[in-house]
Structure 1
Amino acid sequence: MTENPPDVSLTVFAGVDTHKDTHHAAIIDHLGRGIGDREFPATAAGYRALLAWVRGAGVVARIGVEGTGSYGSALTAVLQEAGIEVVDVDRTDRQSRRFQGKSDSLDAYSAARLAAAGIARTIPKAHDGDVEAIRFLHNARRTAVKSRAEAITALKSAVVNAPESIREQLRDLSTKALVDACAGLRPGTVEPGALAAAVKTALRSLARRIRMLDQEIAALEADLHPLVVDAAADLVARFGVGYETAAQLLITVGDNPDRISNEAAFASLCGVAPIPASSGKTSRHRLNRGGNRQANRALHIIVLARLKRDPRTRAYRDKRLAQGKSKRDIIRCLKRAVAREMFQLLTQKIGS
């Protein structure tokens, strides 16, 4: 006896436009017609209410959520635990937005239609494993490194504009020596007319901030590096791959690498898969300017390191240069090859 096929007319799709404090959800039927939309608080109770409301409209086939890695991460986890297929809507329909305008309701309906049409099909990252821990530590370190660079720039600028008596003592020092010298300054009391004391106080403050950030970065790296090695030791062991580069690639893949079907999909995710740009008798490809730009940067760093010191990579470059290829084209080809190599290493450990 054959089972009756499911009634397609009962199938619904939903989309969610996520924000910090509220989420706006919209439901469409199997033909793309709007059924309704509502706003829910971005709380545990709000997530449950949203789920119940969507399920009350019919058989939920798929839900498109904007920002599954940020504002929508908690909602995504609730929906996935309930057994609902969730896809990441990373880019709304620009044409629809151009002609119909923008609002939370319109964005939610757009997300629902993109999910229903299969245009949005990216599986969200899991945010519950060691890679998620790496992401938090890596982001904290990155902001500390950025702050340190800004503080060093401010310190050197302050020295350039300091009175000659102070500038003369600090002018030719290396960065480390400059920080040490300024951190040990004894400015005295800052009061009206005491320009030198104020300048020395500012220099000492900047230098001590740099030292504090050095300690913060070192502490974060002490926690980060063992996690990276445990997650992908073979990756870190490869030529040109450092801890920070490996961490970025791990973050790009996430705790569930099976969401990326193959190495070509990973290359596209990293923005190193050439895009067809042919027309008529002209057959060509152009540079992919999309994808995860931080992952693209990580691959670029690996390629530059190998071009500098790896004999095989240098031999490939020389061969392609002799064939008339430009250096930029060679780097693009190398980044595509490195993406293939990295994908195999990333998936064999995390997926096991």
Structure 2
Amino acid sequence: MAQQRQAVDVVGGVDTHRDTHTAAVLDTAGCQLGLAEFPATEAGYGQLLEWMRGFGTVVKVGVEGTGSYGANLTRHLTAAGVMVVEIDRPDRKTRRWQGKSDPVDADAAARAALAGRRTGIPKDRDGQVEAVRALRVARRGAVSHRADVVKQMKALIVTAPEPVRAALSALTTARLIAVCAEVEVSAVQAGDPAVAVRLALRSLARRFQYLSSEIKDLEKVLSRLVAMVAPTLLAVNGVGADTAGQLLVSAGDNPDRLRSEAAFAMLCGVAPLPASSGRTHRYRLNRGGDRQANAALHRVVVCRLRWDPATQAYVERRTAEGKTKKEIIRCLKRYVAREIYPILTAPDTAKDLPVAA
């Protein structure tokens, strides 16, 4: 009986959370065989897989959130030789009809994996591109925080007592940081609004300087790492270390999961979407996809518009045809995606080399 049961092919689905994962198992006919909850720990991942294998041969597992709460579960299943597919969250119409709970979401993930609907191959997260992603997260947070510091300083100056406001309001950001960071003020007199504002501005200015130093250090590490991982990508006209890093992260450590350059363009949100009806045939702007990758391609286009003669000639030709500047930039972003796709997906021996210190 056990041998007969093990011969059955089954498909799993997992709804992931920070502390627990809820799993469902279906047979190939779509009949639910079981539902269970497991802790989101290494031991729990092993228990989940063994539980699924108790129903038969696990053909594939659909995991919701492979890039967040399900990242470690995905690593565990992949290492065990189980095919994992990434499941998009159900659309709003389906969710209104079915309701929302962990068992319902796990069952929906299993059914999506079984049908091959709204699924994709998850990114590998064990290579140097994952290291690039982690460093970019830290850099992006520091840049965002530094911008907030400048906003806080200027807001304080607007409402500061007149002598302070008059002395600082006309300064450029760089000069404002330098002046406020070096100001001599005693905390003993912090009860005076003017002294308190200067004390607060000094604290914020020094925070700005610290964040700037942190950003510079991270950029040095990122530049070396990106140059090691993707030297060919950096050689593309208009692609710098920041842009290359974002495109690498968007593609992942396994860019071969992108079936074609059209799929890469869709991932980056630069593939126009059909919006035809009846005798009307047209396309509309794609507002989906990875917006950070879209912004990276936009930076490449802006750079080429300024410095590349071939791009400038293309703009002149399309302008003469009646295209607007926005429409031309959208076309150029699509062309850049087509140019970069084979570079991202080409085998690169540099990815296997250690990063220089």
Which residue among 151, 164, 176 is the counterpart of 2:174? 176
1:123–1:194 distance in 2 versus 1, CA, 3 Å: same
Q: Matched residue of 2:232: which SS?
A: helix
Q: Which amino acid aligns with 1:241?
A: V
Matches within 5 A, 1:129-168: 129-168=127-166
Q: Which amino acid aligns with 1:322?
A: A
Counterpart in 2 of 1:329?
327
Q: Which amino acid aligns with 1:211?
A: Q
1:208–1:10 distance in 2 versus 1, CA, 3 Å: same
TM-score, normalised with respect to structure 1: 0.94
CA distance in 2, matches of 1:298, 1:35: 45
In the TM superposition, residue 176 of structure 1 has moved relative to its aligned partner by: 1.1
Decide which moves more: 300-309 or 226-235.
300-309
Matched, 1:238 2:236: yes
Matches within 5 A, 1:8-23: 10-23=8-21
1:350–1:139 distance in 2 versus 1, CA, 3 Å: farther
Counterpart in 2 of 1:313?
311
1:196–1:261 distance in 2 versus 1, CA, 3 Å: same
Q: Deviations over 1:149-199 (max 9, x none)?
A: 000111122122221212222222221111010001112134475222111
CA distance in 2, matches of 1:239, 1:316: 16
CA distance in 1, matches of 2:33, 2:324: 55
Matched, 1:214 2:212: yes
Identity %: 54
Counterpart in 2 of 1:102?
100
Q: Which amino acid aligns with 1:19?
A: H
Matches within 5 A, 1:78-117: 78-117=76-115
Q: Deviations over 1:198-255 (max 9, x none)?
A: 1110010010000010111111112111001111112223222221111110001111
Counterpart in 1 of 2:354?
none
Matched, 1:69 2:70: no
CA distance in 2, matches of 1:92, 1:99: 11
CA distance in 2, matches of 1:129, 1:183: 41
CA distance in 2, matches of 1:101, 1:191: 59
Decide which moves more: 137-146 or 261-270.
261-270
Q: Deviations over 1:121-148 (max 9, x none)?
A: 3111111111010000011000000000
Counterpart in 2 of 1:30?
28
Unaligned runs of 5+ in 2: 352-357
Contact persistence 2:10–2:27 (CA under 8 A)? yes
Matched, 1:295 2:293: yes
Unaligned runs of 5+ in 1: 1-5
Q: Which amino acid aligns with 2:126?
A: D
Q: Which amino acid aligns with 1:17?
A: D
Which residue among 248, 262, 275 is the counterpart of 1:264? 262
Counterpart in 2 of 1:3?
none
CA distance in 2, matches of 1:7, 1:313: 63
CA distance in 1, matches of 2:77, 2:348: 24
Contact persistence 1:8–1:30 (CA under 8 A)? no
CA distance in 2, matches of 1:34, 1:280: 42
In the TM superposition, residue 339 of structure 1 has moved relative to its aligned partner by: 0.5
Q: Which amino acid aligns with 2:343?
A: L
Q: Matched residue of 1:61: which SS?
A: strand
Q: Matched residue of 1:37: which SS?
A: strand
TM-score, normalised with respect to structure 2: 0.93
CA distance in 2, matches of 1:112, 1:44: 22
In the TM superposition, residue 8 of structure 1 has moved relative to its aligned partner by: 12
Matched, 1:128 2:118: no
Q: Deviations over 1:21-65 (max 9, x none)?
A: 111111111121211111100000000000001111112111100
Which residue among 216, 223, 226 is the counterpart of 1:225? 223
1:312–1:57 distance in 2 versus 1, CA, 3 Å: same
CA distance in 2, matches of 1:70, 1:192: 45
In the TM superposition, residue 93 of structure 1 has moved relative to its aligned partner by: 4.5
Q: Deviations over 1:66-91 (max 9, x none)?
A: 11111111111111111111001133
The number of aligned residues is: 347
